[in-house]
Amino acid sequence: MSNKEWPLWEVFIRSKQGLNHKHVGSLRAPDATLALANARDVYTRRSEGISIWVIESNNVHASDPSDADSLFEPSDTKVYRHPTFYEVPDGIKHM
């Protein structure tokens, strides 16, 4: 019975022109057309969006949280990627 239930979709909404689509939640739908329609009805009842993406949840691949140290911490030590790493003499402007 449960294999006849509709698959889960992740919903992303662009709230206004110039901003990225942002994940807002999920819903059930049998196909992409109805997923979009449902997303409109469920997640934009208060003019929250001007554009919607939906993606079937089983197509989302996530990084493993237990790998987080090896994935993300190495970049913490690369302080030279940030402008504040460099000293500039007083009085220099527009840099």
State the amino acid at position 85 in one-letter form. Answer: F
Q: Are strands 8-14 and 21-28 parallel, antiparallel or unpaired?
A: antiparallel
Quick one: tokens of 73?
A: 């911490």
Task: Tell me whether residue 25 or residue 50 sits nearer to other proteins (CB atom).
Answer: 25
5 binds other proteins per the rule CB under 8 A: yes
Residue range at the interface with other proteins (CB under 8 A); choices 12-20, 33-41, 71-79, 83-91:
33-41
Q: Among residues 15, 34, 53, 55, which is the contact residue for other proteins, using CB under 8 A?
A: 34
Quick one: tokens of 69?
A: 């140290």
Around 65, how many Cα atoms within 13 Å sit in the side-chain half-sphere?
A: 0
User: Measured in whole angstroms, how far is the alpha carbon of residue 36 from the centre of its chain?
Assistant: 17
Q: Among residues 33, 50, 71, 72, which is the contact residue for other proteins, using CB under 8 A?
A: 33
| Interacting residues toward other proteins by CB under 8 A | 2, 4-6, 8, 24-31, 33-34, 37-38, 41-42, 45-46, 62, 64-66, 70
